[in-house]
Amino acid sequence: MKKLARSMFARMGYEVRKTSRESRPPAPTASPPMSRYAHLIELFSKRAPRRMIEIGVWRGDRSVQFLKKGVKLKRYVGFDLFDDLSEDIAQQEKMGFCNMSRLEEVEPRLLGARHGDSPTVELMAGPTERTLPEFAEANGPEFDFIYIDGGHSLETIRNDWTYSEKLLAPDGLVVFDDYYPNEAGRGAKPLVDELLQDDRFEIRFFPMIEDIIDNLQITMVAVSRRDGR
């Protein structure tokens, strides 16, 4: 089964390493084959999850794609500060160009992106430091796809991973955005680098690194349990 999964990922151009300790982000390429977002959606489509969480919805740009491509999706849950994203919090969470989005505008956009009445769309407004513990208390490890793209402070990313791990189905996948290969103490890198040392998890870097502002490089990382699918 593992062999089959490996060859499936390899066909997608997805980097597969046998042991997490050997995993390293790929060297930057001059012309990436596709954007990390396109790769995320391709990966999502291939896995065809039934229940998913998106941490950091913003205007719903990615959510709409998940909802359109999620052929088996029965439940979508999105977490965001929405109207509570003040300038101070945006600075604290290192939000860059992401400004406040309104729940009352995002919700109808997401509901309209579905095919008919499925999946259910639940939006949890507020800081994930509060909303995720409450949600994890009421829900089991049933989510097979979790996309972590919320606050960028180290504390928030750690909190988001802590509760994602609790909510993740045994064979599920967590994808982190904001892994900065050339910035040791920023974004998801410190946490993901810790997970690389943890034998319980398999870590796969997306096969592209993109250059963003101020010579900063970015990629995404997929994390799954070794004893899962």
Ligand X SMILES: C[S@@+](CC[C@H](N)C(=O)[O-])C[C@H]1O[C@@H](n2cnc3c(N)ncnc32)[C@H](O)[C@@H]1O
Q: Shortest approach of ligand X to residue 151 CB, angstroms?
A: 3
Judged by beta carbon, residue 57 or residue 169, the one nearer ligand X is 57
Q: Shortest approach of ligand X to residue 113 CB, angstroms?
A: 13
Q: Which one of 25, 32, 49, 56 is in contact with ligand X (CB under 6 A)?
A: 56
The Cα–Cα gap between 126 and 29 comes to 38
The Cα–Cα gap between 3 and 9 comes to 10
The answer to whether 107 contacts ligand X (rule: CB under 6 A) is: no
The answer to whether 61 contacts ligand X (rule: CB under 6 A) is: yes
The one segment of 76-84, 167-175, 186-194, 211-219 that binds ligand X by CB under 6 A: 76-84
Binding mask 15-54 for ligand X (x = CB under 6 A): ---------------------------------------x
Select the residue whose beta carbon is closest to ligand X and give its number: 151
Count CB neighbours of 212 within 10 A.
Answer: 10
Judged by beta carbon, residue 5 or residue 64, the one nearer ligand X is 64
Are 147 and 198 a contacting pair, CB within 8 Å? no
DSSP letter, residue 83: G
Give 185: exposed, middle or buried? Use CB within 10 Å, 0-12, 13-18, 19+: exposed
The Cα–Cα gap between 157 and 176 comes to 9
The Cα–Cα gap between 223 and 176 comes to 8
Q: Which one of 107, 144, 149, 202 is in contact with ligand X (CB under 6 A)?
A: 149
Contacting residues for 139 by C-beta, under 8 A, at least 6 apart: 167
# chain residues binding ligand X, by CB under 6 A: 19
- Amino acid in position 83: D
Q: Which one of 25, 32, 119, 150 is in contact with ligand X (CB under 6 A)?
A: 150
DSSP letter, residue 34: S
Residue whose structure tokens are 């229940």: 51
The residues with which 120 forms a beta bridge, in sequence order, are 75
Q: Which one of 67, 81, 174, 208 is in contact with ligand X (CB under 6 A)?
A: 81
Binding mask 111-130 for ligand X (x = CB under 6 A): ----------------xx--
DSSP letter, residue 209: -
Q: Shortest approach of ligand X to residue 5 CB, angstroms?
A: 26
Q: Which one of 98, 174, 203, 218 is in contact with ligand X (CB under 6 A)?
A: 98
Interface residues with ligand X (CB under 6 A) are 54, 56-58, 61-62, 79-81, 85, 93, 98, 101, 127-128, 149-151, 156
